[in-house]
Structure 1
């Protein structure tokens, strides 16, 4: 099968890592997954590349196309129905399009059956204004040609159902909880003489809430926490400038250590060496790093938003505080830094709850089973 994505498949974000981890397990599931990329150019100029890309996919003739949500808009305008479709929501179904009305599950002409892999809602999560509206229209057009939509989280699935996507078109295939098998331990004590080491993993983009997290840490007693930041600081230079300016202020001097991009094995080492995990993200469709941190026995702290409430219960495995309430975020960090018995209890609860999360073998097995079912439906 072909996985249609955008740009470099080696990019270090949750969605790209998801695809590489399931691709690594394709052979174990009697499958082969080949990456095919839309050139990473400015939008919407790059949409023009979608037509040639579809022609290339037709020549490759895979059994199925797995369509990454960040690439959907680029092929949406070029998909055409293979045959006349029913026109109403109650029209009689047929074939692989059988479980939904005429607005959804058309078969695309000239290409293999399409399975969507959604890590974000139509329109994306990092855009606004006209860009978001145009992409939403194009994303939704592409998904109407999908035989199935695989969704990265329950929260995102809820959002899509509420927006009118047929429930029986959606299957949640959550990320695995185990990023690497052989952790690399940090060379130094992460607490740096303070009561607790707080870890945050995420690239420096605005929705990750780094500035809110820094404000919360700045209000704590100086002996409370040392914050460690892992992630790419160069994705959004404008936002990175703001973060660096805040880091340079006297109230954060010596209290925050930045590590930049690290390997998955090093990330696991940091989880194991830290005391608390915090991510003040306002829009996190799944929040893979929350699940990974809980697996390594860390209580988690973040906003009561996105998928975090599906992963951790407030006051049990961590704290999910009202979005934007920096005071509540700081209080949660203070409680975990100063109340060691409660921190240990939450850590144990987080690890126990994580046992119900899938590992990457589970994720790959479900994903390839779903795709294989679509292929078999198409052939009958």
Structure 2
């Protein structure tokens, strides 16, 4: 009999960001695990209006009776008040700490209270990284309920799409950065660091959605128009997973100056394709790449140090090759998406069994 999971999230489950992609890739492997994931989405209304839809959704799930209800961390606040004994067993899958990481202070404070109230009522906390698990424990969430289930290192299931032309564009090195244009991703700091390098040192390729934070995107576009970056940056926008892999394989260095990356899936993907990684010594990056071995991690916010790290890798081909080989070897220890899906479904089956289902 098929094991059924109702995954409660917000908005379009096919959105091209880390948490959504995690769920989609696990769902794609459900049949191989004798399971099924049904997505149940709350509307992307202004906070806290999804609470209204949360009540009716929980009533619906009480009638449908899946084996397990799985709460996405972006939805936990909106259904937490309506969790009760009429529901099947409930677990949560966390890609961010309570309150989220991209909201203003007022919303973050209110949502954190709602998130914690929801997590107090679940049977298991599936957590995307060791770094996030540490943060959650320090914030008072019960460590005995946590299971770390990191994302897979293999980003595409279809044929890889190779980007046209030479990404170096006649310069010494092709640098790749994958991430939506939000302030947390540190794109302005990355551009400032790269702008100090010699004109022939690099061509930077940016993959990601420029439309998430319009005001920030306007600042990025203004910076890109400055003379010190002229013709050295190519903006590609959102690309499919198969296209992203093609860029990994065609680039020389991966760089992302993100201050808070609960896992940093793109770091792991880049390493698996043999790219040395550069970023801040923050978030989960230190758990993935060792500074000076698989990449270079510098103190958060230190743009001159970021410049020197990028200078080392863009100008020294032998260093790039050594770190690339080490990155590929290290990433071979990371789980694949098949491994991740198996861990998720095994844990959810334990939750159902413990509840007597």
What stretches of structure 2 of length at least 5 have no aligned partner? none
DSSP 3-state at the match of 2:258: coil
- Distance in 2 between the 1:30 and 1:46 partners? 32
Corresponding residue SS for 1:200: strand
In structure 2, the partner of 1:134 is 110
Q: Which of 32, 35, 40 in structure 1 is aligned with 2:36?
A: 32
- SS of aligned partner of 1:345: helix
Q: Name the structure 1 match of 2:307.
A: 330
User: Helix, strand or coil: the match of 2:283?
Assistant: coil
Describe the SS at the equivalent of 1:199.
strand
Q: Take 2:235 and 2:59, find their aligned partners in 1: how far apart are those partners? A: 44
SS of equivalent to 2:160 = coil
- How far apart are residue 244 of structure 1 and its match? 0.5
TM-score (norm 2): 0.97
SS of alignment partner, residue 92 of structure 2: strand
The match for 1:66 is 70
Question: CA offsets per residue over residues 163-201 of structure 1, 9 Å max, x none?
Answer: 122211000000000011421101110001111000000
Quote the offset at 1:237 in angstroms.
0.7
Specify the alignment match of 1:231 in structure 2.
208
Q: Which residue of 1 aligns with 2:291?
A: 314
3-state SS of 1:232 partner: coil
Is 1:53 aligned to residue 57 of structure 2?
yes
RMSD across aligned C-alpha pairs, in angstroms? Answer: 0.8
Q: What's the CA shift for 1:78? A: 2.2
Q: Is 1:190 aligned with 2:167?
A: yes
**Number of residue-to-residue matches in the alignment:** 352
Q: Among 325, 333, 345, which residue is 1:348 paired with?
A: 325
Detail structure 1 runs of 4+ shifted over 2 Å in the superposition. Answer: none
> Does 40-49 or 247-256 show the bigger shift?
40-49
- Structure 1 residues 212-236: Cα deviation after superposition (integer angstroms, max 9, x where no partner): 0110111111011110000011111
After TM superposition, give the deviation of residue 268 of structure 1 in Å: 0.2
Q: Deviations over 1:312-343 (max 9, x none)?
A: 00000000100001111111111001111111
Partner of 2:243: 266
Per the TM alignment, residue 77 of structure 1 is displaced from its structure 2 partner at its CA by 2.1
Which one of the candidate residues 98, 101, 107 is aligned to 1:122? 98
Q: Residue 379 of structure 1: SS of its match in structure 2?
A: coil
Separation of aligned partners in 2, 1:115 and 1:31: 16
Gaps of 5+ in 1: 80-107
Q: SS state of the match for residue 33, structure 1?
A: strand
Matched, 1:23 2:23: no
Kindly provide the CA deviation profile for residues 5-28 of structure 1, in whole angstroms up to 9, marking residues without a partner as x. Answer: 001001110000000000000011
Partner of 2:349: 372
Which residue does the alignment assign to 1:275? 252
User: 1:128, CA displacement in angstroms?
Assistant: 2.6
| Match among 176, 187, 201 for residue 199 of structure 1 | 176
**Deviations 1:70-125 (CA, angstroms, capped at 9, x unpaired):** 0000012223xxxxxxxxxxxxxxxxxxxxxxxxxxxx321111110000000000
Find the aligned partners of 1:258 and 1:48 in 2 and give their Cα distance. Answer: 39
Equivalence map 1:88-127=2 (5 Å) = 108-127=84-103
Q: Secondary structure at the match of 1:117?
A: strand
Structure 1 equivalent of residue 130 of structure 2: 154
Structure 1 match to 2:275: 298
Take 1:338 and 1:233, find their aligned partners in 2: how far apart are those partners?
Answer: 29
CA offsets 1:120-161 (integer angstroms, 9 cap, x no match): 000000013110010000000111111000000000001111
Give the aligned partner of residue 103 of structure 1.
none
Aligned counterparts of 1:129 and 1:176: Cα–Cα separation in 2: 32
CA offsets per residue over residues 262-281 of structure 1, 9 Å max, x none?
00000000000000000000
Which residue of 257, 263, 280 maps to 1:286?
A: 263
- 1:29-73 Cα distance to aligned partner (Å, 9 max, x none): 111110000111000122221111111111211010011000000
